[in-house]
């Protein structure tokens, strides 16, 4: 396997499946199957999930809510999603740990770097909830930060499209897909991969990003097996 340890970034919206909001148990089960398959190949898996299917702080702020209050609500939403994914993974027979950047000792461990790494070494799937624990930072930033801290080989950003395009392929039928990009190419072309803070942090730490379609069965396994799936962003 080209990747020994991965950080899988999932959006909260991905958990909705065909629903308009909330969590789709069917989609959750599909993701759990994909993750189980790569864990059984010996790949160490850490996961960061967004909370947009439940609440997004920035959206709340646009309606007049205090941004800090809204972001804290969004962080709690990521913990809810983390608990849901944890239950789905354990239902498949995997060992898991949920760590939160916000202390919720009754439902999750506090994030401790060395403990997280030890869990991964023991074959447990580690889910990071609560974002970075700070307002004004997205779960993209949390994903890059945690990936650097646990010394992951790559960030795999699972989306509903199969890579990075010249424009939104769901709106522009003439959009063309990139197989590989450098960090500088992304900046020059003004492409949206992650928010600027997360992307810059990834670039500075030479941490590659793979954007791929998580909803296509087998894609996660193909990536960790070395196949050219999605779009790779590297130096």
Binding site residue list for UMP: 51, 71, 132-139
CB atoms within 10 A of CB 78: 27
Task: Please give the Cα distance from 220 to 73 (Å, whole number).
Answer: 30
HSE toward the beta carbon, residue 207, CA cutoff 13 A: 26
Give the separation between CA 103 and CA 14, rounded to whole angstroms. Answer: 25
Q: How far is CA 110 from CA 12, 65, 100, 154, in A?
A: 21, 28, 5, 23
- Count other Cβ atoms within 10 Å, centred on residue 235: 9
Closest CA to 89 of 194, 4, 10: 10
Binding residues for ATP: 9-12, 52, 56, 159, 165, 168
Query: Phi, psi at residue 154, to the nearest 5°?
Result: -165, 155
Annotated binding site: 9-12, 51-52, 56, 71, 132-139, 159, 165, 168
CA gap 101, 133 in Å, rounded? 5
Q: What is the DSSP letter of 175?
A: -
Contact between 109 and 79 (Cβ < 8 Å): no
């Amino acid at each position: 396997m080209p990747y020994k340890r991965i950080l899988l970034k999932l959006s909260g919206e991905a958990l909705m499946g065909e629903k308009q909001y909330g969590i789709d148990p069917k989609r959750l089960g599909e993701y759990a199957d994909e993750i189980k398959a790569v864990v059984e190949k010996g790949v160490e898996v850490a996961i960061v999930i967004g909370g947009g299917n439940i609440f997004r702080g920035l959206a709340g702020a646009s309606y007049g809510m205090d941004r800090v209050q809204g972001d804290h609500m969004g962080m709690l939403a990521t913990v809810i999603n983390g608990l849901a994914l944890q239950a789905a993974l354990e239902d498949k027979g995997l060992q898991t740990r949920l760590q939160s950047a916000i202390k919720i000792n009754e439902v999750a461990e506090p994030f401790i770097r060395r403990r997280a790494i030890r869990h991964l070494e023991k074959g447990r799937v580690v889910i990071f909830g609560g974002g970075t624990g700070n307002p004004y930072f997205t779960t993209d930033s949390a994903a890059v930060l945690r990936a650097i801290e646990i010394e992951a080989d790559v960030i795999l950003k699972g989306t509903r499209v199969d890579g990075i395009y010249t424009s939104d392929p769901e709106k522009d039928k003439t959009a063309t897909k990139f197989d590989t990009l450098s960090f500088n190419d992304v900046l020059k072309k003004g492409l949206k991969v992650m928010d600027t803070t997360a992307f810059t942090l990834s670039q500075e730490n030479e941490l590659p990003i793979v954007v791929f379609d998580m909803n296509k069965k087998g894609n996660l396994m193909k990536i960790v097996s070395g196949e050219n799936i999605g779009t790779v962003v590297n130096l």
